[in-house]
Amino acid sequence: MAVNVYSNYPPELTSDQEDFLVQTVKNWSVEHALTVRPSTAIVSQEINTNNVLATNAPVTLFPSPFPKACFQQARCLQQVYNELYAAIASDQEWLEAVLKELIEVDDFLANLWKIHLAVKEEGYVQDLTLGLFRSDYMLHTPDDAPPSLKQVEFNTISSSFGGLSVKVAQLHTHLATYPSAKQPVAYPPHALFARPDKDSSNGPSINTIGHPPPNSAVSTLTAGLAAAHNAYGPSKSIPQLPPCILFLVQDNERNVFDQYALSTNLYEEHRIPSFRLPTSKILTSTSIPSKETNPNRPLIYTPPSSPETQYEVTVVYFRALYAPSEYDLPTSWAARLHLERSAAIKCPTVLLQLSGSKKIQQVLTSLPPEADHLQHFLPGHDASILSNLRSTFAPQYSLSSEGTASDSDEIQGVRLALSPTTAQHHVLKPQREGGGNNIYRTNIPPFLASIPRSQWKQYILMELIQPPTSAKNVALRSDGQVVRGNVISELGIFGTALWKTSTGSSKPDILHNTEGGYLLRTKANDSDEGGVAAGFSSLDSLILYEDL
Ligand code: ADP
Ligand code: MG
């Protein structure tokens, strides 16, 4: 059996060592904008009246050990996953068949679907779609079995933390290698930070490269945005206008520096200007010419700060509008429709957002002979690649008695959810994004009992992934608290795809498909939820090890 990497990891710190490490992390974070705007729970509105303050993002003091083979597997699968979701988003009929019963009971999905129908009726004027994706995984180690990789979810909208995760990898690398990899000042000596030939205090079976692998999330994501920007083609406006990308953001966004890392790189590497558009300003700062003036429906952006210079929007990059609570103005849905019907390339379209529903992820796990969706959507791939991808699925069940789920599925899902004995190994997920929406374990049966049975089909039931129990780390929270203990990590792999969907075809023509960059989020092992922005997790990076 492999040596337990955590038997003496992370290394113990004396109080002087901890002070030094924490000070270094605090200062490095502010120096390199590994920062967030503080929540009012940390700094009250009275103190931060002008919203000028920023603080370190919650980060772990050490990178977390991660098995190299699982990391490689996640990376190898990313482009296949990109292609899978491009294919799903292009197949309106399949999407409608799967989501139909949810649309009947879920207003949010129903409103999104209505937007698709309205634009379809008028005629789409943009056949390109951009996806900036993040596939999230945990290690699964039931009964201390060797770790395998299981997908938590696949994100098709607002996949965040590419910007900050690059900086965490740089921070941990700095801590492990300054002033030299042999004798870093911030970290006590440990086999994981040493070259394999130098130290064997963890036993002979662990091999590492001593610091986190480089993280290319920012360049991967901005190359995706640039590919879409360039594919947009010449201005469709009369007269022609200079092009720009819009970052659609929440009005009170705290994770702004993650987004700035992308917009700054977009300009520095690709010379593409971008602007931040808060969702409340969509209808006042953008316009589409009337059909009579210009049937191509270019999206015109007028920066409030320089109204005399107008731009044509090539790409709308959504870092907002994934949750019902964000549609809180009377005009919110009209604003979403306005963007969808424009000629700007959407990242994502309504159809791609819907493709990321938990329901879709559950339906994909159905096995032949009932259905082989992977074979259907990825016909060009070897069976071995499809079975590799399928191996990352955790068991998931429908709670519905209609639609694509077979009777046996329905009975199984409902039975597993209602019995406290089996419910304790499961999580119940609604069709929502952004954290804090799931129901866990023994809370599932009473929760289901509290809502009408007709509503159950809004949820899917998923078996809980069983991460390693011995993992430990120390986190510096945004309020300066240092917390240590047993932890659970979630790996995200970033990928991008740009594709064209032709009228009447359900197959995407993929123009750009890349993988690159990762996010590791680490939370206390007694926390079910995992979001960083939601306050549960800290940003982390990884240190790869392999069993020899
Ligand atoms: P969201 O869209 O809200 O991010 P997720 O499916 O990612 O929804 O669930 C939120 C969190 O719940 C995850 O980050 C993870 O910590 C936990 N979680 C979700 N599914 C599972 C699972 N099958 N096993 C263990 N933990 C899970
Ligand atoms: Mg998630």
Q: List pLDDT tens digits, range 374-424.
A: 999 999 999 999 999 999 999 999 998 654 445 555 589 999 999 999 999
* Look-up of token digits 């059909």: 291
Ligand 1 atom 19, closest CA: 152
The helix or strand, by DSSP H or E, that contains position 318, with its residue range, turns out to be strand 311-318
Ligand located closest to 429 CA: 1
Q: What is the DSSP string of 28-60?
A: HHHHTT-EEPPPTTTS-TTTTTT----EEPPEE
Residue 436 among known ligand-binding residues: yes
Instruction: Return the beta strands (E) in 319-471 as ranges.
Output: 345-347, 396-398, 426-429, 439-440, 460-463
Distances (CA, A) of 125 to 122, 239, 246, 298: 9, 19, 18, 9
Rounded to the nearest 10 degrees, the angle between the axes of helix 162-177 and helix 256-270 is: 90
- pLDDT digit string, tens, across residues 268-306: 999 999 999 999 999 999 999 999 999 999 999 999 999
How many CB atoms within 10 Å of residue 451? 11
How far apart are alpha carbons 520 and 399 in whole angstroms?
31
User: At 447, which amino acid appears?
Assistant: F
Are the C-beta atoms of 289 and 297 separated by less than 8 Å? Answer: yes
How far apart are alpha carbons 387 and 153 in whole angstroms?
18
What pLDDT does residue 404 have? Answer: 44
What pLDDT does residue 408 have? Answer: 58
What pLDDT does residue 402 have? Answer: 56
Are the C-beta atoms of 426 and 443 separated by less than 8 Å? Answer: no
Which is the catalytic residue, given 153, 340, 410, 515? Answer: 153
Residue whose CB lies within 8 A of the most ligand 1 atoms, among 134, 141, 153, for a mutation test = 153
Are the C-beta atoms of 29 and 56 separated by less than 8 Å? Answer: yes
**Is position 358 annotated as part of the catalytic site?**
yes
Ligand 1 binding pocket includes 427 (Cβ within 6 Å) = yes
Distance 159 CA to ligand 2 centre (A): 9
- pLDDT digit string, tens, across residues 343-385: 999 999 999 999 999 999 999 998 877 789 999 999 999 999 9
Ranges in the chain, pLDDT < 50: 1, 196-200, 202-205, 403-405
